[in-house]
Structure 1
Amino acid sequence: MKQSPQRRALLPVALLALSATISACGQSASKLPSISGAGASFPSAAYQRWSADYAKETGNQVSYQSVGSGAGVRQFIAGTVDFGATDEQLKGDDFTSGAAGERGALQIPMLGGTVTPAYNNPDCPNLKLTQAQLADIFLGKITDWSALGCPSKPITVAHRSDGSGTTYAFTNSLSCFSPEWEEKVGRGKAVDWPVGVGAKGNEGVAGLIQNTPGSIGYVNQAFVRGVILPAALENKEGQFVLATAESGAAGLNGVTLDERLGGEECNPPGAESFPIVAFTWILAYETGGETKADAVRAFLNWSLQDGPQQMAAELGYVPLKGDVLERAKAEVAKIKN
């Protein structure tokens, strides 16, 4: 039977509509729900870049708020986020409190990093600090750049004002560098600073250093740029080392992770080791969340691939390798609906 011209003209339109319907069904089948996380500012540059790249590659949305490790742990325990993030390993009670206790808590290392002394003083290039000098600056005992072999100028100390895993890593090392620091101040996500001006997040401290000539503070290596200079820091073997991916990896090799993948070392051994290093962790629920669990698991598996890890290295982080990487992937596999 011969088709009318009108019927022939309608066929391509019908086929196009069918094709579009099939395509839309295929997209919805692979689409995962949006997820949100919050916590440590230390890895925020990597997590936000990962989120953007992951969305481009998969179409799935991830948002991350840099609110500090302390707030991230609290939100994770309260169950108000799909995942948390911290630079300080969880304590025993954290695993059994609130939503973490009800759903099970997984602590997954995602990256390593260095916490480096950083400063703004162009008259003092190539600064080298002993461990004792670093502690004395933050104790308020060294107040002028002349004590560090530089032209005289008052020192402005910059530190975190919020609860922070970066602060924990920094003060943990200062407690090993200086008995006086350990006795008078100690270690913690937040401490009573003897001197200095506070700012929120690595971003805030970096901004404070950038805008305050003569200042010195501590930030993740990824935030050292522009007028902000890194200081070479004396390590356990007496070598002065700058924070790099290589020196950070050497330091992290001295950290032993426990069965929950937590671990720290306040002054790692090794001539090539940077002395203030830490892992940074994603906190995930082991069960529940329905399709959100699939979305979290997919994003974390993607983030532990070679490409995203190497991209993070370009931002100043230390990528996971070897046994730590395999253990992290095994922990992600425990996330169930």
Structure 2
Amino acid sequence: MSRKPVALALLTLGAMALTACKSNTVALNGAGSTFVNPVMTRWVQEFSQSHPNIQINYQSIGSGAGVQQVKAGTVDFGASDAPLTDSALAAMQPVIQIPESAGPVCITYNLPGLTQPLQLSPESLAGIFLGTIKTWQDPRITADNPGVTLPKQNIAVVHRADGSGTTNAFTTYLSAISQDWQTKVGKGNSVSWPVGLGGKGSEGVTGQLRQSPGAIGYVELTYAQQNNLPVAKIKNQAGNYIAPTAQSTTSAINAFTDALSKDPRTPIVNPPAHAGDAYPISTLTFLIIPKDGTDKDKRAALKSFIQYIIGDGQSVSGTLNYAPLPDGVKQYDLQQLNQLTAGGQPLQ
């Protein structure tokens, strides 16, 4: 046999193998929370190393937009920092929603020359975002920061412009600690902000903050660190000023153990005074997954990815400032995952 036919045969076999390999690849698409994007990116990277035939694309477009894409059926899963209410669940095809991580909503700021972390009481924070506290030398802020020289500068508030679960968590906190906020603004993925400039996504908020001396806003901790922005210590119900960390978020989760065992949608903001080391603006984040789908291979791959997140992926969370899920919540998640079906049939 001549070399030419052999080479042609080998090329043909290689092409057939490549085609077969591609045909076995499963592509999953997700979208939603910018808050969870740093750890989601790592989860995808880690999972893909051991599952090369499963390709996962996650779009960090905000919780509200992610929920809408799940509702429209254009993604395989969504992520939101705010769980769906019963009425929202009733308005869409059956889904399961499970907590997959938790983290602090950080208050970050741009105050050149301030060499120690800013401290803020609940009253000061609510006043800033209500627009009733307008300067950094307001007596309420100086009382939170004894011995600290604050700048003679107006406060520039930066908030999310898009529908955001991070906004939901932050405004849930403000509603819990301020009757004025609860009455005038309330809580939700989107609210009518009394003051401030909007940024799209956590990326947009950090971008506005970096270029605006005197600004203050709220983001996930990794975004603040990646942009070299400081984060404030917030006074909790025990009277302690607490920095946002994975550990202080875990303390907040532990303060709500009983309530979370009954309903994982329970907010974990403003923990009671006995949780002395708990950060007061923390949130669980959620995956929102259609219960059924037509593609059995895709559904099996999706279940495998979510099982990884709940299991080994939790150790990854702690390296990126997220708090690992407690065992009770992980057990709840696994029970919910068993409800996933393909063409109405249970997944193996």
TM-superposed deviation, 1:330 = 2.4
Q: In structure 2, do the counterparts of structure 1 residues 227 and 33 end up closer, same or farther at CA, with 3 Å as the change threshold?
A: closer
Q: Which runs of 5+ in 2 are unaligned?
A: 143-149, 343-348
Superposed CA offset, 1:123-176 (max 9, x none) = 223211001000000011111111233121111111000111100100110011
Superposed CA offset, 1:244-277 (max 9, x none) = 0100011112332366632213311210110011
**Residue of 276, 281, 291 corresponding to 2:281:** 276
Aligned residue for 1:84?
A: 78
Aligned residue for 2:336?
A: 331
Aligned residue for 1:62?
A: 56
Kindly report which structure 2 residues correspond to 1:243-262, keeping only aligned pairs within 5 A, or say none: 243-255=244-256, 256-257=259-260, 261-262=264-265
Q: Which amino acid aligns with 1:263?
A: T
Rounded Cα–Cα distance in structure 1 between residues aligned with 2:105 and 2:218: 6
Rounded Cα–Cα distance in structure 1 between residues aligned with 2:68 and 2:262: 22
Kindly report which structure 2 residues correspond to 1:121-160, keeping only aligned pairs within 5 A, or say none: 121-124=111-114, 125-147=116-138, 148-149=141-142, 150-160=150-160
Rounded Cα–Cα distance in structure 1 between residues aligned with 2:126 and 2:287: 30
Please say if residues 117 and 219 of structure 1, whose CA atoms lie closer than 8 Å, have aligned partners that are also in contact. Answer: yes
**Residue of 265, 268, 271 corresponding to 1:265:** 268
Could you tell me the TM-score, scaled by structure 2's length? 0.85
Aligned residue for 1:296?
A: 302
TM-superposed deviation, 1:324 = 1.0
Aligned residue for 1:206?
A: 206
Q: Which amino acid aligns with 2:265?
A: G
Aligned residue for 2:38?
A: 45
**Aligned residues, how many?**
324
Please say if residues 95 and 289 of structure 2, whose CA atoms lie closer than 8 Å, have aligned partners that are also in contact. Answer: yes
Please say if residues 106 and 232 of structure 2, whose CA atoms lie closer than 8 Å, have aligned partners that are also in contact. Answer: yes
Answering whether residue 159 of structure 2 is matched by residue 169 of structure 1, we say: no
Q: Which structure has the larger Rg?
A: 1
Q: In structure 2, do the counterparts of structure 1 residues 93 and 292 end up closer, same or farther at CA, with 3 Å as the change threshold?
A: farther
Aligned residue for 1:3?
A: none
Q: In structure 2, do the counterparts of structure 1 residues 273 and 110 end up closer, same or farther at CA, with 3 Å as the change threshold?
A: same
Rounded Cα–Cα distance in structure 2 between residues aligned with 1:204 and 1:25: 41
Q: Secondary structure at the match of 1:65?
A: strand
Aligned residue for 2:346?
A: none
Answering whether residue 237 of structure 2 is matched by residue 236 of structure 1, we say: yes
Please say if residues 107 and 284 of structure 1, whose CA atoms lie closer than 8 Å, have aligned partners that are also in contact. Answer: yes
Q: In structure 2, do the counterparts of structure 1 residues 153 and 227 end up closer, same or farther at CA, with 3 Å as the change threshold?
A: farther
**Residue of 103, 115, 118 corresponding to 1:113:** 103
Rounded Cα–Cα distance in structure 2 between residues aligned with 1:219 and 1:40: 12
Please say if residues 111 and 151 of structure 2, whose CA atoms lie closer than 8 Å, have aligned partners that are also in contact. Answer: no
Aligned residue for 2:26?
A: 33
Q: Which amino acid aligns with 1:281?
A: F
Please say if residues 261 and 328 of structure 2, whose CA atoms lie closer than 8 Å, have aligned partners that are also in contact. Answer: no
Q: Secondary structure at the match of 2:26?
A: coil
Q: Which runs of 5+ in 1 are unaligned?
A: 1-5
Superposed CA offset, 1:44-92 (max 9, x none) = 1111222233223311111111111111111111212111111111111
Rounded Cα–Cα distance in structure 1 between residues aligned with 2:337 and 2:12: 39
Could you tell me the TM-score, scaled by structure 1's length? 0.88
Rounded Cα–Cα distance in structure 1 between residues aligned with 2:182 and 2:83: 20
Please say if residues 35 and 202 of structure 2, whose CA atoms lie closer than 8 Å, have aligned partners that are also in contact. Answer: yes
Rounded Cα–Cα distance in structure 2 between residues aligned with 1:260 and 1:130: 29
Please say if residues 270 and 280 of structure 2, whose CA atoms lie closer than 8 Å, have aligned partners that are also in contact. Answer: yes
Q: Secondary structure at the match of 1:202?
A: helix
Rounded Cα–Cα distance in structure 1 between residues aligned with 2:29 and 2:129: 36
Rounded Cα–Cα distance in structure 2 between residues aligned with 1:204 and 1:254: 32
Aligned residue for 1:215?
A: 215
Please say if residues 73 and 84 of structure 1, whose CA atoms lie closer than 8 Å, have aligned partners that are also in contact. Answer: yes
Q: In structure 2, do the counterparts of structure 1 residues 61 and 24 end up closer, same or farther at CA, with 3 Å as the change threshold?
A: same
Please say if residues 118 and 216 of structure 1, whose CA atoms lie closer than 8 Å, have aligned partners that are also in contact. Answer: yes
TM-superposed deviation, 1:321 = 2.7
Please say if residues 252 and 269 of structure 2, whose CA atoms lie closer than 8 Å, have aligned partners that are also in contact. Answer: no
Q: Which amino acid aligns with 1:168?
A: N
Please say if residues 118 and 231 of structure 1, whose CA atoms lie closer than 8 Å, have aligned partners that are also in contact. Answer: yes
Rounded Cα–Cα distance in structure 2 between residues aligned with 1:265 and 1:45: 21
